């Protein structure tokens, strides 16, 4: 469904330009994405925007000019954007996700991962918005995979603990909340260090020397496009039934997540890792001829 709104646009003609008012189609389904400047947030924004949703993304340091600049620790700013935009769905991607940074800056991480999430959930409830809270496989200790939604969390590091506290906070403040736990992500990175999956590529590409990698921890790299598709499918499913190695911080050895509950709902998307990582790393490959040894 779409609505019609007026929009001012500049029209250029020979020797002059004029300001004209034109009708534009605005999708009636509204979604707000936090952390829209990040790896996952960008994919989520793109997924909704390309599938007939009126999507608004917000970020902080890298927000403008594409996204709204919002400090999630500013409760007034959060209140204003939610009550002005009146979203049907909010996808909360913003978080401090780096375990070692969380360990070194626990207060700041807790403010963003827990307190800001609680306030966002409360504001979402105030306008009847469905909230999708992005959590992590690090809420588990990695000793008994694969993990289901009903398994008891036992985070090993402070990052996992803050995300688990964030889960509890959003559920306490908004009954219309879905918690989506995700593993390590990769995708269309702006910088190779943006993903733990792609960060080693430069070292491998420009050196004949071996690179040190953790061979103890088992991870399950997931393409952000797939997570974004799941978020949109969750949102659309919801709207059908309602009106409205280990150095530093400890890591779980194997925190594989069981996706059967989503799959029973007909929700899911899986990009083969070989195809996904090829697409992610291709822009950073200096010598395209090297693809014969890297991607085949």
Please give the Cα distance from 4 to 24 (Å, whole number). Answer: 6
Q: SS3 of 20, please?
A: strand
Whether 159 is a known active-site residue: answer yes
Please give the Cα distance from 23 to 34 (Å, whole number). Answer: 29
Active-site pick, 138, 147, 159, 186: 159
Residue 59: beta bridge partners? Answer: 69
Number of Cβ within 10 Å of residue 261's Cβ equals: 11
**In terms of Cα–Cα distance, which of 284, 274, 287, 283 is closest to 201?**
284
**In terms of Cα–Cα distance, which of 180, 191, 152, 164 is closest to 265?**
180
Please give the Cα distance from 191 to 195 (Å, whole number). Answer: 8
Catalytic residue numbers? 159
């Amino acid at each position: 469904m779409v609505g019609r709104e007026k929009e001012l646009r500049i029209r250029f003609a020979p020797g002059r330009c004029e300001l004209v008012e034109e009708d534009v189609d605005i999708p009636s389904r509204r979604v707000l994405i936090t952390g829209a400047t990040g790896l996952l947030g960008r994919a989520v924004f793109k997924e909704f925007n390309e599938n007939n949703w009126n999507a608004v993304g917000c970020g902080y340091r890298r927000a403008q000019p594409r996204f709204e600049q919002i400090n999630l620790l500013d409760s007034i700013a959060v209140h204003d954007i939610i009550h002005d935009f009146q979203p049907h769905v909010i996808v909360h991607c913003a978080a401090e996700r780096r375990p070692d940074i969380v360990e070194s800056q626990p207060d700041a991480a807790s403010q963003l991962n827990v307190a800001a999430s609680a306030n966002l959930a409360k504001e979402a409830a105030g306008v009847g918005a469905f909230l999708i809270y992005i959590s992590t496989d690090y809420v588990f200790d990695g000793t008994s995979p694969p993990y289901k939604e009903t398994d008891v969390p036992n985070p090993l590091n402070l990052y996992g603990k803050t995300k688990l506290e964030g889960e509890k906070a959003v559920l306490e403040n908004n009954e219309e909340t879905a918690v989506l736990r995700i593993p390590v992500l990769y995708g269309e990175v702006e910088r190779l260090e943006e993903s733990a999956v792609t960060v080693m590529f430069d070292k491998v590409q420009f050196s004949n020397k071996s690179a040190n990698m953790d061979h103890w921890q088992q991870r399950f790299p997931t393409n952000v496009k797939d997570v974004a598709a799941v978020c949109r499918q969750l949102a659309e499913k919801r709207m059908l039934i309602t009106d409205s190695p280990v150095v530093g911080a400890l890591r779980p050895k194997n925190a594989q997540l069981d996706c059967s509950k989503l799959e029973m709902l007909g929700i899911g998307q899986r990009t083969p890792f070989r195809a996904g990582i090829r697409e992610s790393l291709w822009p950073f490959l200096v010598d395209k001829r090297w693809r014969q040894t890297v991607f085949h």
